A and B are shown apart, each in its own frame.
Chain A
Amino acid sequence: MNLDAAPSILGAIVVTMGSMAICAGIGIIIERFAYRPVRQHSRLTSLITAIGVSLLLEYGGQVVFTANPRFFPQMIRSETYTVGPVQITNQSLLIIVVSIILMFGLEFIVHKTKIGKAMRAVSHNLSVAKLMGINTDFVIAFTFALGSALAAAAGVMVALAIPKIDPLMGLMTGLKAFVAAVLGGIGSIPGAMLGGMIIGLMETWIGSTSYSTYRDAVAFGVLILILIVRPSGIMGSTTTEKV
């Protein structure tokens, strides 16, 4: 679409929507062929499968696209606004606004729609949800599609902020996303956003001090602290395991 030469908001929306749709499709395919066959096995089996899928996508991408970083077109012409001592680019502003919109959208789907209710039911107890007439296979596939589409949106936004992309760009980010979700409290959507912001701000802050080489360790350090102090996360609720 030659976005590099002619940046436009419309183009950016088409690109984002397109990549979200493609990733949703990939998510459904992966769920169908990798996760569904192992669902009745133990959690360890699905964990190992998840590691396998993640590595397959990343290194498969490296084989297909080579490991060389590519430049992501500047879809939106960069402008800098200055408000008092604060400087912010329109791109950063857009990223913040879009993630807040996506957060509220997700919150709406999970808490106010029928499919969202079904998702929560499946998460709570798969077999009972099935007994209540919920098409669990469809619900899980939908959840994967939704999650993959959101990840695609995040990928586009990362590329917008740091326009150098490569197949392994999501490796560390994905791990840190997990850290952010745990920090905020698994199951809480605003908590995940809060966790993400805390991790991001801390990394940026460490990066600006003389300890910048420790940047990658910060997220994991925070994770370990939070799991010792408050394993349910900032906004999560504690659950006791029933026998």
Chain B
Amino acid sequence: MSLTRKVIYIAIGLVILLGLNQVFEHGLGDFQINGYYARIVNLIGIAITLAVSLNLINGLAGQFSLGHAGFMAVGGYSATYVTVFHGQQIAGLIGSSLGEVAGSALVMPISLVVGAIAAAAAGLVVGVPSLRLKGDYLAIVTLGFGEIIRVIILNIPAVGGATGFTNTTPITNFFWIFSMAILTIIIVANIRSSTFGRALSAIREDEIAAEAMGINTTRYKVMAFVISAALAGVAGGLSGQLFANPLNPQNLNFVKSIEVIVMIVLGGIGSITGAVFGAATITILPEALRDVDRQFPGMRMVIYSLLLILLMIFRPQGLLGRKEFSLDWFRRKKAAPAPPAAGGDTDV
């Protein structure tokens, strides 16, 4: 794709997103979107960012991390901290040179960048020691780090401690959520088709063989982990500023990490399309089951766990396996009626 074409695509994309944002936030003439549905759509966007970013480390690199909620918490708290305590300053500073509208609009991306950097730093600290481990050990250590992060946040009174981060201003909107979701998809898709991505696939298939081929496995694993953490931080920053009072360490424990795992396992470990599909399904599912969960508290988790077990028994590669959505799906159908099933390999 030439540069001009890229710029045109990006411009069209931004215009579409801004238009949809207008519709979602303010309605179109008499037409108003039900606030409840708009909220679910926003949550799906955040879940997509989370799931696709986790797919980078769990799916592409094959390193089973269970600490995603921890990075989400780091990113969310840092971003919200920036907005709450320095938002006015930033808006004033940028507003004085670029105008007031730009000033208040740019608080959000700046807070997200801060959140991403903080989460990336946490990812580096966690990744370097834990990525020397494999399988169950890695899962438990990342889970442990997630819990440590949560306990540390619980003990910081400036961000609310156990009561959660109150007095936040909801500045997240449809535009930011979906531009970040699309950005995450583009980043992960590009990584996948790069040398870096090939190296990660090699590590996933056989780490010893990859090392013998001259791949610096530790370096690539840590890089993937840090990028994944940074994107989780962005998702945290978005969800932290979505409602007036959403950040609470209790909601960012390892159950949240498992929820993201269910998303990517459902869609297919390693497939970006699968992660998007899983994110949407797992976000809508509890809403559909709201009445059941109210009657039997814990039912949501029972359904998640049954889903995990049944998937592992009957379709361990997930619904989509490693297949990706592409326009070829429609083209190939005309040329050859039966495309070969590519989801057969289970050796994740």
Contacts and interface: CB of A to CB of B under 8 A. Distances in A.
Interface of A: 34, 37-38, 41-49, 51-56, 58-60, 62-63, 66-67, 167, 175, 178-179, 182, 213-214, 216-217, 219-221, 223-224, 227-228, 231, 241, 243
Interface in B286-312: 296-299, 301-302, 304-309, 312
B298 A63 contact: yes
Contacts of A58: 301
Contacts of B306: 52, 56
Interface stretch (B112-120, B144-152, B272-280): B144-152
Interface in B136-159: 136-137, 139-141, 143-145, 147-148, 151-152, 154-155
Interface residues of B, number: 44
B304 A44 contact: no
Contacts of A182: 137, 140
Given A51-B258, A63-B296, A41 B316 contact: yes
B309 A53 contact: yes
A43 B136 CA distance: 8
B65 to A, nearest CB: 12
Given A47-B64, A59-B301, A67-B297, A179 B312 contact: no
B233 to A, nearest CB: 20
B144 A179 contact: yes
Contacts of B148: 217, 220-221
B7 interface: no
B308 A49 contact: yes
Given A214-B151, A231-B132, A62 B137 contact: no
Nearest to B207: A241
Contacts of B143: 175, 220
Given A41-B312, A48-B265, 18 more contacts: A34-B313, A38-B313, A41-B347, A45-B348, A48-B308, A51-B308, A56-B309, A59-B302, A63-B298, A175-B140, A175-B144, A214-B151, A216-B151, A220-B144, A220-B147, A224-B145, A228-B129, A231-B133
Contacts of A55: 258, 301-302, 304-305, 308
Contacts of A224: 129-130, 141, 144-145
Contacts of A56: 302, 305-306, 309
B344 interface: no
Nearest to A243: B208
A124 to B, nearest CB: 17
Nearest to A53: B309
B346 interface: yes
Name the residue in B141, B301, B313 with the highest tally of chain A Cβ atoms < 10 Å from its Cβ.
B313
Contacts of B133: 227, 231
A219 B312 CA distance: 30
Contacts of A221: 144, 148
Which of A52, A56, A219 counts the most chain B CB atoms within 10 A? A52
